[in-house]
Amino acid sequence: MRNKKIWIISDQDKRYATEHLLQILHKGIELRRNDKDEVSVICVGMSREDQFEKLFQYGADRIIFCEQNEGYSISLYVKCIEAMLQDKMPDVILFPASITGRQTAAILSVRFGAGLTACCTDVQYDNEVDRYVFIRPAMSESVLAKITCINKNLQMCTIKENIFDSEFVTNGKSYNMEYFPYIEKKSEKNIEVLERKALNLKERVDIKSAKIVFVVGRGMKNSMDLCKSVARQYGAVVVGTKAAVEEKMIQENHQIGQSGISISPDICVAFGVSGATQHMVGIKGAQLIIAVNTDKNAPIFQYSDYIIVDKGENVLTELAQ
């Protein structure tokens, strides 16, 4: 049985060991069939020893680093990884489903004729067919499809944030650091950085790190003011389902679920949420789920630690007192 090489691509030029990347790294480790399969993290940008050490602490077998200090761009980033792939070809590549990750995966899949599955919620290995299986929602997110890459030696996917857990690993292995040189030819440059300025962004709520989250469904349309007021009282963040976005109850960047973001709060209180599969993917990382719904047969109750059969407005009124 041939040893497998699993590559995980960092999408940052300085902070390589993001929580998202560490989550994907943990999945990469789970995909190893034996100790001879190798999980490598690919980093492009400025040298950061503290970040490299953290990646090793979370289980990376190898780091392949291409140092670039003269201005980071997506074009240069893709060229570096392309050169690495021309030098040595892995069996599977896992990208973060970030803007950079999605762009890079799309470009490289075309250049190398690789199979690419976007926005996966899981990746598995099938011993019978010797292929990786990529799982993602399909048919308007009503089902979860299992996808394999046929007649493709290189398999790729992008993975959403907060789908997997990260895990500190103490494997006692020595750090295996590989440096990959790449110098962009002047004739190849199509972007020139004239100036860099730091943006003074307005303070915004970090949904992904919120400890308490209120999730609203379409049925809470007439109770949003009360919900937001109670949320402020308890230090909670208000998010919602795709239906809540369509009803303009919440902003699109506050949408939870397969087509939105995934969260892992300590407490998740769902008001008027039915519990469709595509939504539950977004909150499955919650430590405690409390569901409030007038339908005693609501599917969300199957996933909940506590259930309340009542109107969300009534429960919020009690919480406000």
Residues in the chain: 321
Please tell me whether 257 is known to bind a ligand. yes
Note the maximum CA span of the chain: 68
| Ramachandran assignment for 140, one of left (phi > 0), alpha (psi -120 to 50 degrees), beta (any other) | left
CA–CA separation, 242 vs 199, rounded Å? 30
Please tell me whether 45 is known to bind a ligand. no
Give one DSSP letter per residue of 180-231, joined into a string.
------GGG------------PPP---GGG-SEEEEE-GGGGGGHHHHHHHH
Please tell me whether 51 is known to bind a ligand. no
Please tell me whether 256 is known to bind a ligand. yes
Please tell me whether 155 is known to bind a ligand. no
Please tell me whether 274 is known to bind a ligand. yes
30 close to 24: Cβ distance less than 8 angstroms: no
Residue spans of beta strands (DSSP E) within 62-121 = 62-67, 92-96, 115-120
Which pair of structure tokens corresponds to residue 219? 């049925």
Please tell me whether 20 is known to bind a ligand. no
Please tell me whether 166 is known to bind a ligand. no
C-alpha torsion 24→29→32→36, nearest 10: 130
Please tell me whether 23 is known to bind a ligand. no
Please tell me whether 57 is known to bind a ligand. no
Please tell me whether 255 is known to bind a ligand. yes
- C-alpha to C-alpha distances, 200 to 13, 193, 197, nearest whole angstrom: 20, 20, 9
Please tell me whether 273 is known to bind a ligand. yes
Please tell me whether 279 is known to bind a ligand. yes
Binding site residue list for FAD? 218, 255-259, 272-279, 293
Which residues belong to the annotated binding site? Answer: 218, 255-259, 272-279, 293
